[in-house]
Amino acid sequence: MRQQIRSFAIRLVILIAILLTLGRVYGTTIVTPMLPALTWVIEAVDDHLQVDHAFIVNRSADTVIQLKVTPIRILVIGDRMLMPDAQLHFDPTTLIGSVLQPVILLLAIVLAWPVTRLWALSARLLLAVPMMVLLLVVNVPLGFVGTMQDFREYVPEAPVSLMV
């Protein structure tokens, strides 16, 4: 039993290292086609926001997804109202690596798990595809919306409503 756990752990570490390297090299290529879907999910989750631009930016050693988001409806924050204005916008960013991190972990576990037959690995990978799509479509947009709604540092007494 210990040998199986040790073997799994070693495979997991090696696969994570390989997938992280591939994510670093090809991250921009993988994430760029997903930007319209991220934009759509953000606008679907919070109808007060409109994503004007979603693009990938290189900042020193980091590559990030940067959004320009404009409020299109009145936002009530505590006892204050935030009126929609073309001059007012949010500029949230997130690292490309944080987008790929859950997918890399899921793929590493699926690939490192011991397998006796090739069809079992194929079935696992086929079942992992919808989960990867779900992770990509839900994790990042909800993180962006949460960042934009994190007004508690400015108005600590404001009530926070659930997004979903």
- Whole-model pTM? 0.77
- Whether 153 is covered by a domain: the verdict is no
Band the pLDDT of 36: cuts 50, 70, 90: very high
Which range of residues forms the domain containing residue 99?
Answer: 2-148
- Residue 42 falls inside a structural domain: yes
> Quick check: is 162 in a domain?
no
Residue 155 lies in a domain: no
Q: How many residues does the chain have?
A: 164
H or E stretch covering 126:
helix 118-148
More confident residue, 83 or 58: 58
| Residue range 45-78, pLDDT digits in tens | 888 888 999 999 988 888 999 999 888 888 776 6
Confidence band for 86, pLDDT divided at 50, 70 and 90? low
Q: Please say whether the beta carbons of 65 and 51 come within 8 A.
A: no
In a domain, 156, yes or no: no
- Mean pLDDT of all residues belonging to the chain: 85
User: Is residue 143 included in any domain, yes or no?
Assistant: yes
Instruction: Find the mean pLDDT for residues 14-27.
Output: 93
pLDDT at 23 over 60: yes
Q: How far apart are CA 83 and CA 118, in angstroms?
A: 58
Is residue 33 packed enough to be buried (19+ CB in 10 Å), middle (13-18) or exposed (0-12)?
exposed
Residue with tokens 């979603």: 54
75 - beta bridge partners?
A: 82
Is residue 79 predicted with pLDDT exceeding 90? no
| C-alpha 122 chain-centroid distance | 26
How many domains, in total, are found in the chain? 1
Pull the structure tokens for residue 164.
Answer: 């979903």
Q: What is the pLDDT of residue 7?
A: 93
Query: From its phi and psi, is residue 78 left (phi > 0), alpha (psi between -120 and 50) or beta?
Result: left
Asked if residue 152 has pLDDT above 60, the reply is no
- Distance CA(73)–CA(76), nearest Å, equals 10
Q: Quick check: is 92 in a domain? A: yes
- Which tokens hold the place of 55? 């693009």
If pLDDT is split at 50, 70 and 90, which confidence band does 162 have?
A: low
pLDDT at 71 (0 to 100): 83
22-36, 100-114, 143-157: least confident range: 143-157
Checking if the pLDDT of 164 tops 60, the result is no
User: Would 34 be classed as within a structural domain?
Assistant: yes
3-state secondary structure of 46: coil
Average pLDDT over residues 20-24: 92
